[in-house]
Amino acid sequence: MGVCPIALTLSPEILLMKKLTPLLATLLLLFTHQLLAQGKAVISGKITNPLDDYVALVTYANPLIPDEKVTEVELDGDSFRIEVPVQEATVAELLHGDEVVQVYLEPGYDLKLTVNGGKFFKTIKYNGKGANENNYLAYATARFDEEQDYQVLPDNIKLKAGEFTEFLDYRRADQLKSLDKYAAKYTLSEKFRSFILTEIEFGYAKDKLNYHPLREQALQLKLTKPEASFYTFLEQLDLQRPQGHLSPAYVSFLQDYTFYYAQQAGSSKESEQFYKACYDVAGQKLQGAALMMAQAQVLKQSIQFGHLKYTQQLLKDFIARNPDQALNTYLKQLSNANKSLAPGSMAPDFTAVDTAGNTVALSNFKGKLIYLNFWKSDCGLCLMELPHLQQLIGKLNAEKVVFVNVALDETPEKWRQLVEQKQLQGEQLYAGDQASDLMQRYNLKDVPAYFLVDENGQLANLKASHPNHPETIRDLLNYLELHQASLK
């Protein structure tokens, strides 16, 4: 028996749905793809004459936390593709060989790069979404960051205050003109434009604010400070910048800003309460994101170089007010790691031998202010600073200061020969097989490294002024005066 087919009559609504279903599925797939793309950025491209086999992109979740994420890929011939999560505008670094170039990213960017490895900055070119922003960034870097005439060092810092201001005014005007000319031809995102304007404005402000101390350091002279009118630009700055956290110039300036006003109010870097004074300045002059960013930076400096007692006070206050839990966690971890080597903590004691072979302990000098110098006889900078150190010792010979110089050489012969030939003054000691232990206990990254240890054997300064700095003698005498040490 055969089966009779049953004819079904579909309603117009069902027929319409059948026609729309493929379209809806396509639209949904497209929407999902766009949504996913918004949470990431892609950089792909070709490198002719590559410098090595890899390309890497370095991203930072928070400019105040030195926690970088490195995404590295191997070249496929001369091609590469890197995909990273991006939730908001950020500035990353693209690395290839010894070359490093800034890359500006926003969610959804799809950059296609071409470059000649042998002429990296001159040939880098972007296409795709985000190309306008990054082509300008590459151009501005080559034009203003690599061109010697636009740099403060080594020559422009030698200019007098008025001439230096003219130089900064010219550079800023040229930067703004360049941006306006480019933006008239190519569309730039508002966030990127804000970022570049912040870099220009606070690059200017940072260089002008640091002019006097940097000029003294470069010329190795004690100079008269510029007149008050030189600093009136500080009162005209708009410190509330939505994209400020992207700008290295802005982030760095905020710290210098608090240091400047703390010193203007009479606080000295040698004072135990210096970083507290800077923290309080930020509270008085700043607000919102700028306030938290400035205080976080001051707190980081205090944790690394400030007095332990006041650092703990600042840390407690900051954590109670700051909603950024990741930053709070980082600062607490940094504090715990630095407690054993912080101003106010006991200086790690050690023994070393002098040129006669006698064993000498750091604690032997308790009761005097110790200017502690770690150095090596084959270190070029150490040797350059030796004459200045000898002059410093000679000038402070009658004061209650002892200069302890600890050589970290692998063998003692060259050290002993140099000490005897140069008739070096001060306590000259050789660390011997304790060198690696001392480098770890004093967290030495390189030499020379200078510390101050107070009369009670406590660390007073983890970053004492170098002997060639024109303010070092004054700093040491001020410290003695602040601690009511008797001057002979």
Give the number of other CB atoms < 10 A from CB of residue 463. 14
Say if residues 387 and 410 touch (Cβ distance below 8 Å).
no
CATH number at residue 457: 3.40.30.10
Rounded to whole angstroms, the Cα distance separating 141 from 194 reads 17
Residues composing the chain: 488
**Per-residue pLDDT tens over the stretch 170-188:** 999 999 999 999 999 999 9
- 99 and 244 inside one domain: no
Mean pLDDT of the chain: 90
Mean pLDDT for the stretch of residues 279-286: 97
- 72 and 169 inside one domain: no
- 328 and 407 inside one domain: no
Least confident of 27-36, 42-51, 327-336: 27-36
483 — pLDDT class (breaks 50, 70, 90): low
Mean pLDDT for the stretch of residues 65-88: 95
Domain membership of residue 84 (yes or no) is: yes
On the question of pLDDT at 336 being above 80, the answer is yes
On the question of pLDDT at 396 being above 70, the answer is yes
Written as six digits, the tokens of 173 are 């005007």
- 268 and 250 inside one domain: yes
How many domains does the chain contain in total?
A: 3
Bridge-based pairing of strands 90-96 and 125-129 is unpaired
**Per-residue pLDDT tens over the stretch 414-445:** 999 999 999 999 999 999 999 999 999 999 99
Please tell me which residue, 414 or 28, carries the higher pLDDT value: 414
At 24 the pLDDT is 52
Rounded to whole angstroms, the Cα distance separating 241 from 255 reads 15
Say if residues 269 and 299 touch (Cβ distance below 8 Å).
no
Range of the domain at 357: 351-482
The angle at the Cα of 31, spanning 28 to 37, to the nearest 5 degrees, equals 140
Which of 320, 341, 362 lies at the terminal end of a domain, its last residue?
Answer: 341
The CB-side HSE value for 113 (13 A sphere, CA atoms) comes to: 29
**Per-residue pLDDT tens over the stretch 99-157:** 999 999 999 999 999 999 999 988 999 999 999 999 999 999 999 988 889 999 999 99
**Per-residue pLDDT tens over the stretch 339-348:** 888 888 999 9
- 67 and 154 inside one domain: no
Rounded to whole angstroms, the Cα distance separating 9 from 300 reads 76
Rounded to whole angstroms, the Cα distance separating 172 from 305 reads 34
Rounded to whole angstroms, the Cα distance separating 462 from 459 reads 7
